[in-house]
Amino acid sequence: MVSLALIGFGNRAGKYASCLDGMAHIAAIVEPSDERRTYAIATCGFAPARCFSRFEDLLSSDIKVDAVIIASPDKTHYAYARECIRRGWPVLLEKPIASDPAECIELADLSARAGVPVTVCFELRYHPYFIKLKELVGTSGLGRLRSVNWTIDVGLNRMMHSFVRGMWGREKDCGPIALSKLCHDVDLLLWMLPGEPAEWHLKGERKFFRAENAPEGAAPRCLDCPLEKRCKYSAVDLYLRRREWIRNFIPLPGESVDEMLLRILRESDFGRCVFFSDNDVNDTQTITMTYPDGLKASIRMQCVRRNGSRKARFVFEEGEIDAGATAITVLRKDAAPEVYDFSGIVGSPLHAGADREMVREFVESVRTGKSTRSGISGALKSHIICTA
Ligand SMILES: NC(=O)c1ccc[n+]([C@@H]2O[C@H](COP(=O)([O-])OP(=O)(O)OC[C@H]3O[C@@H](n4cnc5c(N)ncnc54)[C@H](O)[C@@H]3O)[C@@H](O)[C@H]2O)c1
């Protein structure tokens, strides 16, 4: 059986661990947080002697590792991936490959030269909806593709939790939002459309989540704010009252959920006012890619709606493909719309099973040497574009 090491045992790694289904076993984890290591030992049954706080301790141990899943914070990916490639360990690497394009290129080169495969976690390539959309775009019979308009609404709660108060709010920690969020969207388009864009253009700004937009009298922390009860950005409402986005918070020993949430609201960045959060990543962003035949594909990100969604319109010479939040519709002249309904699976766990399929393919590739559908060489271009 394939022996895996997991680096960074947080949200994503926990999901990948739940997808192994007996195909592989976790020989070791590397996780610097004491709370998370305790959690991994207590709830996932990992042997304490195999839970390391430092990567170097794994390297100097005699634990046999066949492959590694890297799901630690963005800025750590490059150094971990480089060392894994050097040791001949195939890697399932969370996106982004790295935040610096030169580092992305270096890792892709190292992987190719050493013959050590790196699969980038672009799980949406494994999602039934996007697999169907790619197939329809490639075989539509609607003539030349004239334009693509792709919109992504990050969703207000995700925006506040991840990109304002959370881990992807500051460029120094994670690179620009064009990379940390939109690399999925750019990758999907590059994967679906034939050829490669000849030019790309990025434009974005931090329009809304800025101190000067704070309402008069707002306090730095939601717990102390006189406006909290009627504020739609309230962290007290999001975490304490609605109990949303709390899955990744871990209680201290003996702490109740309410006590944990109050501690987080009082002490961590998750309790800060969205207008005073030291965030600096854009909250609106567009990316336009122009193909050699003149085709323009544009991606527009916004964060104004409560629920997130991706939508796209592909306009061909003789019809359109409308990719909605839960269904894809093909519109042909003189024909009834063809509708492909995904409402039963969109929003279901593990990206509608895509995470599981990606992990399965990765483990299989480690066993058999077959390549995966999301190898680093194919994932590189999105990173070059998103960091431009
Ligand atoms: N593919 C996707 O759709 C997707 C979605 C969310 C996040 N991600 C990416 O996955 C990665 C992990 O994100 P997450 O949401 O699981 O975050 P997380 O904070 O839940 O997990 C990260 C874990 O890494 C640990 N860690 C911190 N510093 C470390 C270090 N130096 N070495 C090893 N571990 C360290 C943290 O303690 C934490 O447990 C990020 O790179 C993120 O961008 C990808």
pLDDT digits (tens, 9 = 90+) for 97-120: 999 999 999 999 999 999 999 999
Nearest of 135, 195, 144 to residue 315 by alpha carbon: 144
Judge if the beta carbon of residue 12 lies within 6 A of ligand 1: yes
pTM (2 d.p.): 0.96
Judge if the beta carbon of residue 54 lies within 6 A of ligand 1: no
State the average pLDDT over residues 20-40: 93
Ligand 1 centre from 75 Cα, in Å?
10
Ligand 1 centre from 35 Cα, in Å?
15
Of all protein residues, the one whose alpha carbon is nearest to atom 31 of ligand 1 is: 76
Fold of 128-152+161-205+282-348: Dihydrodipicolinate Reductase; domain 2 (3.30.360)
Judge if the beta carbon of residue 36 lies within 6 A of ligand 1: yes
Weakest mean pLDDT among 55-69, 293-307, 310-324: 293-307
Domain boundaries, the chain: 2-122+353-386, 128-152+161-205+282-348, 211-271
The values of phi and psi at residue 121, to 5°, are -75, 75
Express as a percent the part of the chain with pLDDT over 70: 100
Judge if the beta carbon of residue 161 lies within 6 A of ligand 1: no
Judge if the beta carbon of residue 125 lies within 6 A of ligand 1: no
If one looks up domain 2-122+353-386 in CATH, what number appears?
Answer: 3.40.50.720
Ligand 1 centre from 74 Cα, in Å?
7
pLDDT digits (tens, 9 = 90+) for 336-384: 999 999 999 988 999 999 999 999 999 999 999 999 999 999 999 999 9
The values of phi and psi at residue 169, to 5°, are -90, -20
Residue 30 alpha carbon, nearest atom of ligand 1: 33
How close are the terminal C-alpha atoms of the chain, in Å? 41
- Quick count: other Cβ atoms within 10 Å of Cβ 220? 14
- Quick count: other Cβ atoms within 10 Å of Cβ 353? 17
- Quick count: other Cβ atoms within 10 Å of Cβ 313? 15
Sequence length of the chain is 388
Judge if the beta carbon of residue 8 lies within 6 A of ligand 1: yes
Ligand 1 centre from 7 Cα, in Å?
9
Q: Are 377 and 112 in contact (CB under 8 A)?
A: yes
